[in-house]
Amino acid sequence: MEGRRQADVPARPKLLLVDDTPANLLAYRAILGKLGLELHEAESGHEALSLVLRHEFAAILMDVQMPDLDGYETAELIREHAGEVPIPVIFITAGDRSEAREFRGYDTGAIDYLFKPVNDKLLISKVRVLTDLWLHRRRLAESTDMLRRVNGQLSGLLRGAAEGIFGLTRDGVIDFTNPAAARLLGVEGAALLGQPIFTLFNAALRERVGTDFMASDMRRIAVEEGIYRSTQTEFVLPGKPPIPVAFSLSAVDSAQRQTSGFVLVFNDITDQLSAQEALRRSAEHDELTGLPNRRIFQRHLERCVHADDQPAFGLLYLDLNGFKPINDEYGHDAGDSLLKTLSWRMARMLRGADSVARLGGDEFGVVLASCSTVSQARQIAERLLEAITAPVVIDGLSLQCGASIGIAMCPDHATDADSLVRAADQAMYVAKRDPGVSIAVA
């Protein structure tokens, strides 16, 4: 590139670290020092551009949020001056992950994102892949034609910037695997060579994209649009459990601008899916009892109210009696144990279509989707009351609660969710005010 030093191939790959915070540069140097790279540092976009014009870097590790020129603007300037071979950029950001932000980065030449706080092992792994690929490219630079072909392949590899990498022939046969791909799939890399990529796909993905790679939408999209993405699917191998993955398929062009092959880059997303499920469950369930929370209760109630094929159904609004004195006298641990036991008893008493939710404190809501009459609802309420009032032994103490239960039926007492809750709540307070009554109907 213009202004860039065209010296002999350096003995060590050069890595440029760009961050306006000196402490971060020091931390990255400490993490990456063991790789044996020649590390250069810049505290601004202008300083980074100056270094790029004077050195040949294997990769750039750059903070997104910087004063003056931010990471995106700096990467755009570097791309404009980088000549024929782009320098792969890994962005580091503390911002929220969004498709718009990621696409902006990819448009400026980024091949990956890391989110703060940066995982040391992940950073080392990604940098090592980039520097290994750079060294491989430099060794092939003696042949101009070969260099053009490998640059195209490496460009495809770098665009994905994920853990596992497959090189594919024009007709979708695996002819290259990196060590990470073999490790993630739990097989020897050589065992995958010569296999059609479709043999790894689960039945759902094969049904969606077809089984003829040359005629598949996946191949067509990769060729026409540059990349095909699958955010969640599974790879399957004989005798092994399915592996949840996200992958991208990129077309690789030859020097004659013909599609010469493909690069498939994938990540094992098991941990990501587990984290998503944990977040979803914590957002929808009460942390103490494990019961659905008010949000899910309201959603379920709305579905029952608006379902075209939903017959009449019942709602119970339940408040424990005597729980607060127990909680005050014996402590929160005893109170929590009591709530968990009573919640378990109530959930066990209900039929499959019915559900109980903790609405807060010692209040519970029960949607009786399978119940169409007041008498049926009362029978269920009586069974719940019996389960609640049975003593609970905690740390040698026999603890006992009562309950007040209000019953409301849809459509007899209300035809919308909010009105139905109010009707059941008012009935519950009628039962609570009368010492001789535990169950009341709206």
Residue pLDDT, tens place only, 242-270: 989 999 999 887 655 778 889 898 988 88
Rounded Cα gap, residues 356 and 373, in angstroms: 18
pLDDT at residue 280, as a whole number: 76
- Of 247, 280, 313, the residue at which a domain comes to its end is 280
**One domain, residues 136 and 212:** no
> Of the ranges 144-158, 173-187, 313-327, 361-375, which one carries the lowest mean pLDDT score?
144-158
Residue pLDDT, tens place only, 42-69: 999 889 888 988 888 888 998 888 888 8
- Of 249, 280, 311, the residue at which a domain comes to its end is 280
Residue pLDDT, tens place only, 78-106: 888 766 668 888 888 876 655 656 666 66
Transcribe 28-91 into DSSP letters: HHHHHGGGT-EEEEESSHHHHHHHHHH---SEEEEES--SSS-HHHHHHHHHHHSTTSPPPEEE
Q: What is the pTM of this model?
A: 0.47
**One domain, residues 169 and 257:** yes
Which 8-state DSSP code applies to residue 292?
Answer: B
Rounded Cα gap, residues 170 and 306, in angstroms: 52
**One domain, residues 309 and 361:** yes
**One domain, residues 4 and 144:** yes
- At residue 212 the predicted structure's pLDDT band, cuts being 50, 70 and 90, is confident
**One domain, residues 136 and 168:** no
- Of 252, 280, 308, the residue at which a domain comes to its end is 280
**One domain, residues 220 and 247:** yes
Q: Is the pLDDT of residue 160 over 60?
A: no
What is the average pLDDT score of the chain?
84
Q: Tokens for 39, please give them.
A: 């590390």
pLDDT at residue 132, as a whole number: 87
Domain count, the chain: 3
**One domain, residues 228 and 302:** no
Mean pLDDT of 164-192: 87
Length of the chain: 442
**One domain, residues 55 and 129:** yes
Domain extent at residue 151: 1-158
**One domain, residues 381 and 237:** no
